[in-house]
Structure 1
Amino acid sequence: MSRKFFFLLFFAFCHLSLKANFVFNANAAEAYKAIFDLRLNDARRYIAEEKRSNPQNGISVLLDNYVDYFHLLTSENKTDYIKFKERRAQRIDALEDNDEQSPYYLFAQAEVYLQWGLIKAKFGDYTASTMDLKKAQNLLKKNNEKFGTFLPNQKSMGLIEVVFGAIPSNVKGIADFLGVRGNISTGIKRLETFKSNIKGTKYSFYNDEAIFLLCFMDIDILHRRDSYTKLNSFLDDMGDKSLLKAYLQGYVAFKTGKNDKAISYLENIPKSNLYTPMPTIQYLLGNAKLSRMDKDAPVFLTNYLKEYNGTNYIKDTYLKLAYYYLLKGDMLGYTNYLKLVRTKGYATDEKDKQALKEANEAKPDVDLLKARLYFDGGYYNKALEQIKDKSQDELKSLRDQIELYYRMARIYDRLDIFGQAVLNYQKAINLGKKETFYFAANSALFLGILYEQKNDDAKAKYYYNLTLGMKGHEYQNSIDTQAKEGLARIK
């Protein structure tokens, strides 16, 4: 063998050994686990080690993006968002230099577009968000054609299906222009199937991500209050040292009316410098405590305002503090916090818009306010006790009059007293259908749900359409999304 041939063979071997690839090895698996425990600094260390030992591994690029994604999700820091979003293009370029024959080649690019699409939506960049999500969808479709048995495709395709199915009306024009379509039920079924299919496979490490997505979809998009047992059983599969698990346990419990359990989970959340700061825990715990009328509720609401560097729920938090002092009979505290609702924070999120609106309206009836807070915590009998003997004539403002019927209906609905629920929902609709308050539209929505549950599709369809016919009210986007999903289910 000639020396020249030997060197050619040697350099060819070196070139092959340095060829970019996608390897989900032990370092990558540990980094991924740390990300979903919300130990982001640990994840960064594992990724750095992988880059040193295997600099051509494209999975490191994807994991870097996961870290930024969860940092921005948990901090909601707009300064970091502006600084980090330039990294998307750099990561796509790096991934395009990898092994085109790997099922991770198109998938990893799609994941970067998908994660940035979701983050951009969170920060209000809806056009850029929709375009990134569309790019992700196109890449996933191509990858699914090439690698039909590559299970991770199903996770992300299901997520995009849900996101596009839940697009709010204020983004609908952009979505229609790009030809974006989705179906919430189809997407969730796809994710549930994915979660089931990865058990015992080399993709089982995706289980925590599937649980994370299913919890938020069930609670925030479907708004199911009867899914606690199912979601909690999912969460049992996550590691006990995961901050994300503990937060989700508290979140799911609070949103499904299991308030005492929510407080217990959130008070016992892992506390260590190993975990990324998560101010939302303080916000959630403060709200849960307020729903139970705990005296220390302001401590946690105030902590949220101190720790949080984002733009969401600031006005809502000040309003909750105002209501705490109103319930105490401290009118000075109440009026001082109302001033802060009007002057602090941003009116971009629906909750903050609602908080600002309430701060500029007449003082709410105290009994109605207590009923509302007890209801939010799942204390339905206590909520009923506050207003069961109250009449419309006792209430001065139209808002309170409509809310009385709406609140009675919601309580009877949760107590499974069908006749009284229907009667009071209808009263709320009759009184409030021409107003901007959300009570009438939500009443129509819940009547649609009640009749759907009773397999009376004709009445369900009537009330879902009635919901969509009411315009210009509070929470328009989320209420309309649920009504559309209801109509899709009964077709």
Structure 2
Amino acid sequence: MIKGLKFVAISFIITLLFPKNTFANFDFNNNCLNAYKSIFELKLGNAKAYISTEKKQHPNNSIIPLLENYVDYFTLITSGSKTDFDKLKGNKTSRLDKISDDDKNSPYYLYAQAEINLQWALIRGRFGEFFNAAMEIRKANNLLLENKKKYPNFLLNDKGLGLINTVLGNLPDGALKSALSTLGIKGNTQIGLSMLDKLAETLPKSTYEPFYEEVVFYYAYVLTDVAHSSSAYAKTIKFTERIADTSLLKSYLQSYVCIKTAHNDEAIKILANKPEGGVYQPFPYLDYLEGIAHLNKLDLNAASYFNKFLQTNKGVNYIKDANLHLGWIALIKGDKTGYSSFISKAVNAGYLYNEKDKQAQNEASAPAPPVDLLKARLLYDGGYLSKALQLLDDKKTADYNSDKDKTEFNYRLGRIFDDLGKDNQALNYYQAAITQGKGLKYYFAANASLQMGKVYEKNGNKLKAKEAFNNAISMKNHEYENSIESQAKMGLKRIGF
């Protein structure tokens, strides 16, 4: 009740700040605020109803096309459907046309156009349309910079600028980075993170409070997947705490970051208690996440979540990876026929748009991993370090036959000891992984060098850290090459090289 009154009060304050006689056709009124709030709870049906009401009451309100674009954006995020993408992307031009004919003296005039461009850029990147995404990022960046000059106190400018700076500042080599470089667009990760952090802290105390959830949505993403920040978990939990438990987006953000940062039991609890019902947008990816979390505990009932994901998913991503995980479950059970069947699907089914599926295909094409290494890897990913160590405690490198398995054994122990705070043991095993695995196509040696650099950085040994980061960069033609290289380059920047 109090939150509802607060929302109405904020709406009233915004109306005072942007009175209708000044910005008649960019009116973030109650219908629009309720639609926006519903979007960020993933209640897209409710959002469409509020937008429909607003269209009848104020058909010329140019906030409408912006809200409609948000609906398309989250429809595509939750479905991952290439069919939906091809159908919806044609909406962009007509929405921009409507906005561009409106009140040029409103702070929402350039901002709304920038948001629509940025949202489509983020979606296009998921489907490999990198050149168009680069053009839209450039457009969004220019519009937001111009709007910031005209309206320096319009805080929402920093939301898009913060995201663009963070992502572009740490973009791995590839088609998108190449296209953006050609266009002269660069970013600065630290500046971007600072902008988003400041917004997350200040928006709740400002008249822009309704936009808080969107800022947190982007901030949690970049902390976890772009900056690989050690504070990703703490900040995500802190900033999502004030979001209502009725938000499915909150459950997604918290569980995703918990899984990525080895807070596995917490992720399981969050997903088990996520809000459900027909009012929420279908989001099969959450079933996939729940499968990951349960398998990280070596709970083989995880298969039910992966199967549910594969049955309900209409998207193009995580099909290969889900089948790979089902193959691992069969391998742990000793079901060789089942393993072969799922591994074949991991190779032949699905698509190669994202890194997880590319890696899943690589792993499915390689020889089956030893079960003890597989179990240790899963337990490590879940943060169950002592259990992972127990599995490998009585093993030695010579117990494994292939160079791949020997390298992974040393790499895995390095990661475990690293997270246990036993730096000397970690460094020894990392060095063994580098020596054994340098020149192989697997990621173990390069990532061992990256993690070694982070250990030296933590301990203030900048010269050794520099050497390790440069060594990681020098290794080529291995899995996750772009991601490892970009993280190593960030490490060099942090230590002043």
Change (3 A) 1:317 1:410: same
Q: CA–CA distance in 2 between the matches of 1:112 and 1:227?
A: 27
Between 224-233 and 25-34, the greater mean CA deviation after superposition: 224-233
Letter in 1 for 2:425: Q
In the TM superposition, residue 225 of structure 1 has moved relative to its aligned partner by 5.1
Letter in 1 for 2:333: K
Q: CA–CA distance in 1 between the matches of 2:478 and 2:201?
A: 40
In the TM superposition, residue 175 of structure 1 has moved relative to its aligned partner by 1.7
Task: Say whether 1:394 aligns with 2:399.
Answer: yes
Q: CA–CA distance in 1 between the matches of 2:303 and 2:441?
A: 30
Between 62-71 and 165-174, the greater mean CA deviation after superposition: 165-174
State whether residues 315 and 355 of structure 1, in contact with CA within 8 Å, keep that contact through their aligned partners in structure 2.
Answer: yes
Q: CA–CA distance in 2 between the matches of 1:295 and 1:468?
A: 37
2:36 to 32, 39, 61: 32
- 2:281 aligned residue: 276
Letter in 2 for 1:29: L
Alignment map for 1:401-440 (pairs within 5 Å): 401-440=406-445
In the TM superposition, residue 135 of structure 1 has moved relative to its aligned partner by 0.4
In the TM superposition, residue 398 of structure 1 has moved relative to its aligned partner by 1.2
- 1:288 aligned residue: 293
Letter in 1 for 2:80: E
Alignment map for 1:86-485 (pairs within 5 Å): 86-171=90-175, 172-224=177-229, 227-485=232-490
1:56 to 54, 57, 60: 60
SS of structure 1 residue aligned to 2:204:
coil
In the TM superposition, residue 465 of structure 1 has moved relative to its aligned partner by 1.4
Q: Normalising by structure 2, report the TM-score.
A: 0.93
Between 195-204 and 304-313, the greater mean CA deviation after superposition: 195-204
Change (3 A) 1:18 1:393: closer
Q: CA–CA distance in 1 between the matches of 2:179 and 2:258?
A: 35
Letter in 1 for 2:291: G
Change (3 A) 1:341 1:184: same
In the TM superposition, residue 18 of structure 1 has moved relative to its aligned partner by 12
Q: CA–CA distance in 1 between the matches of 2:485 and 2:168?
A: 14
Larger radius of gyration: 1
State whether residues 167 and 222 of structure 2, in contact with CA within 8 Å, keep that contact through their aligned partners in structure 1.
Answer: no
In the TM superposition, residue 19 of structure 1 has moved relative to its aligned partner by 8.5
- 1:85 aligned residue: 89
Letter in 2 for 1:288: A
State whether residues 23 and 106 of structure 2, in contact with CA within 8 Å, keep that contact through their aligned partners in structure 1.
Answer: no
In the TM superposition, residue 432 of structure 1 has moved relative to its aligned partner by 1.2
- 2:17 aligned residue: none
State the percentage of identical aligned residues. 43
State whether residues 223 and 231 of structure 2, in contact with CA within 8 Å, keep that contact through their aligned partners in structure 1.
Answer: no
State whether residues 20 and 97 of structure 1, in contact with CA within 8 Å, keep that contact through their aligned partners in structure 2.
Answer: no
Between 468-477 and 339-348, the greater mean CA deviation after superposition: 339-348
Letter in 1 for 2:64: S
- For residues 4-39 of structure 1, what are the alpha-carbon distances to aligned partners after superposition, in whole Å with 9 as ceiling and x for unaligned? xxxxxxxxxxxx989962111111111111000000
Change (3 A) 1:197 1:17: closer
Q: CA–CA distance in 1 between the matches of 2:355 and 2:401?
A: 26
In the TM superposition, residue 226 of structure 1 has moved relative to its aligned partner by 5.2
In the TM superposition, residue 222 of structure 1 has moved relative to its aligned partner by 2.2
State whether residues 19 and 56 of structure 1, in contact with CA within 8 Å, keep that contact through their aligned partners in structure 2.
Answer: no
- For residues 53-81 of structure 1, what are the alpha-carbon distances to aligned partners after superposition, in whole Å with 9 as ceiling and x for unaligned? 11111111111111100110111110110
In the TM superposition, residue 456 of structure 1 has moved relative to its aligned partner by 2.0
In the TM superposition, residue 202 of structure 1 has moved relative to its aligned partner by 1.4
- For residues 84-103 of structure 1, what are the alpha-carbon distances to aligned partners after superposition, in whole Å with 9 as ceiling and x for unaligned? 11111111111101110001
Q: Normalising by structure 1, report the TM-score.
A: 0.94
Q: CA–CA distance in 1 between the matches of 2:98 and 2:464?
A: 54
Q: CA–CA distance in 2 between the matches of 1:113 and 1:331?
A: 49
Letter in 1 for 2:72: D
State whether residues 249 and 262 of structure 1, in contact with CA within 8 Å, keep that contact through their aligned partners in structure 2.
Answer: yes
- For residues 133-164 of structure 1, what are the alpha-carbon distances to aligned partners after superposition, in whole Å with 9 as ceiling and x for unaligned? 01000001111111111100011110110121
In the TM superposition, residue 227 of structure 1 has moved relative to its aligned partner by 3.7
Change (3 A) 1:226 1:381: farther
- For residues 177-197 of structure 1, what are the alpha-carbon distances to aligned partners after superposition, in whole Å with 9 as ceiling and x for unaligned? 100111112101110111222
Q: CA–CA distance in 2 between the matches of 1:144 and 1:227?
A: 28
Letter in 2 for 1:373: L
In the TM superposition, residue 455 of structure 1 has moved relative to its aligned partner by 2.3
Q: How many residues align?
A: 476
State whether residues 442 and 467 of structure 1, in contact with CA within 8 Å, keep that contact through their aligned partners in structure 2.
Answer: yes
State whether residues 110 and 136 of structure 1, in contact with CA within 8 Å, keep that contact through their aligned partners in structure 2.
Answer: yes
Q: CA–CA distance in 2 between the matches of 1:47 and 1:204?
A: 20
Letter in 2 for 1:302: N
State whether residues 167 and 226 of structure 2, in contact with CA within 8 Å, keep that contact through their aligned partners in structure 1.
Answer: no
State whether residues 441 and 467 of structure 1, in contact with CA within 8 Å, keep that contact through their aligned partners in structure 2.
Answer: yes
Q: CA–CA distance in 1 between the matches of 2:404 and 2:130?
A: 32
SS of structure 2 residue aligned to 1:312:
coil
Q: CA–CA distance in 1 between the matches of 2:438 and 2:300?
A: 37
SS of structure 1 residue aligned to 2:281:
coil
- 1:6 aligned residue: none
SS of structure 1 residue aligned to 2:174:
helix
Q: CA–CA distance in 1 between the matches of 2:456 and 2:73?
A: 40
State whether residues 126 and 353 of structure 2, in contact with CA within 8 Å, keep that contact through their aligned partners in structure 1.
Answer: no
Change (3 A) 1:19 1:26: closer
Q: CA–CA distance in 2 between the matches of 1:257 and 1:167?
A: 24
State whether residues 20 and 58 of structure 1, in contact with CA within 8 Å, keep that contact through their aligned partners in structure 2.
Answer: no
State whether residues 95 and 108 of structure 1, in contact with CA within 8 Å, keep that contact through their aligned partners in structure 2.
Answer: yes
Return 5+ residue gaps in structure 2 as ranges.
Answer: 1-19
In the TM superposition, residue 348 of structure 1 has moved relative to its aligned partner by 3.1
Q: CA–CA distance in 2 between the matches of 1:33 and 1:453?
A: 41
In the TM superposition, residue 201 of structure 1 has moved relative to its aligned partner by 1.6
